Structure 1
Amino acid sequence: MRETREPTDIGGRDDLDVLLRRFYTAAFADPLIGPFFTEVAGTDLEVHLPRIADFWERALFRTAAYGRDAFAPHAALHSARPLAPAHFGRWVQLWHAAVDGLHRGPLADRAKAMGERISVSMMKRLGGPGAAAEAASGGTGGFVPLAALALRTAA
């Protein structure tokens, strides 16, 4: 019988590493947003994970150095294959599911809220007036129901 544990809050870099691997494994495999990582960007997960962990460690704990331009790679992706509100919605959906599957607490809530803000900001900057109007009107951004998503169960 599998032992279950009560989810704890995100405690540091080790937790971020596990969370981000879980999230990006799902994102790479996702039929809607996965091709942006695998086909368009050709992202090497082992190279990407330490960089994105630095980003989230700095965002949540203010402890890591992250000196990269987080917008530039997304602008390059958008130039190669346009990102639509549905793509941002799916990213947020997978991010929430990954966080909720592993963690509960103020930092987990903060990580989810930050993911939403980042997604909306990127959508506005990349998508122009239509995306900005969609976000400003409280639109869903193309979110898909989580009913069939298995990430909510911690591995």
Structure 2
Amino acid sequence: MCETRELTDIGGRDDLDVLLRRFYAAAFADPLIGPFFTEVAGTDLEVHLPRITDFWERALFRTAPYGRDAFAPHAALHSVRPLTPAHFGRWVQLWHATVDGLHRGPLADRARVTGERIAVSMLKRLGGPGAEAAAATGGTGGFVPLAALTLRAAA
């Protein structure tokens, strides 16, 4: 018999660490967006994780300092290999699935909404393929419905 646990809200930095490690494990392995992390950027998760945890701690709890330019690394990636609506859509799918697999509550809701806003904002700022159409319609151009994604939380 499979035991289920009640999902709680994101409670702090420790929860963010677990959430982000789970998310990046999925993102690095994803055939669509994984190469941006592994091949183009050569992301070292142990170096990246404290920075991105600061970012999300600031976004969700307003407690961590974050003075970096979050857009610049994405612009650098885009100059090497264009980021499209489909790439940002997949990021949002994985982000939602990871949050939903671990947490429920107002901060989890904020994390999902913030992730969507960031993805759309970056796409528009990059002006990548499909960005103008997405911006003109208020849509997200290549984003695939979450129902099309199954990502199980690891036990």
Q: Give TM class, smaller chain.
A: over 0.9
- Match for residue 100 of structure 1? 100
| In structure 1, distance between residues paired with 2:9 and 2:47 | 26
Deviation larger for 105-114 or 142-151: 142-151
Amino acid at match of 2:33: I
Contact 2:28 2:35 in 1 (8 A): yes
SS of residue paired to 1:116:
helix
The equivalent of 1:41 in structure 2 is 41
Cα root mean square deviation, aligned:
1.8
TM-score (norm 1): 0.92
Relative to structure 1, the CA distance from residue 101 to residue 137 in structure 2 (aligned partners, 3 Å threshold; closer, same or farther) is same
Identity of aligned residues (%): 88
Alignment pair present for 1:14 and 2:14: yes
2:126 aligned residue:
126
Partner of 1:85: 85
User: Which consecutive residues of structure 2, in runs of 5 or more, have no partner in the other structure?
Assistant: none
Q: TM-score with structure 2 length normalisation?
A: 0.92
Aligned length: 155
Secondary structure of the residue aligned to 2:127 is helix
Residue in structure 2 matched with residue 50 of structure 1 by the alignment = 50
Q: Tell me, yes or no, if the aligned pair for 1:99 and 1:108 is still in contact at 8 Å.
A: yes
1:138 equivalenced with 2:138 (yes/no): yes
Per-residue displacement from partner, 1:32-79 (whole Å, max 9, x unpaired)? 000000000000011111110000000100111111110000000000
Structure 1, unaligned stretches of length 5 or more? none
Find the aligned partners of 1:29 and 1:100 in 2 and give their Cα distance. 19
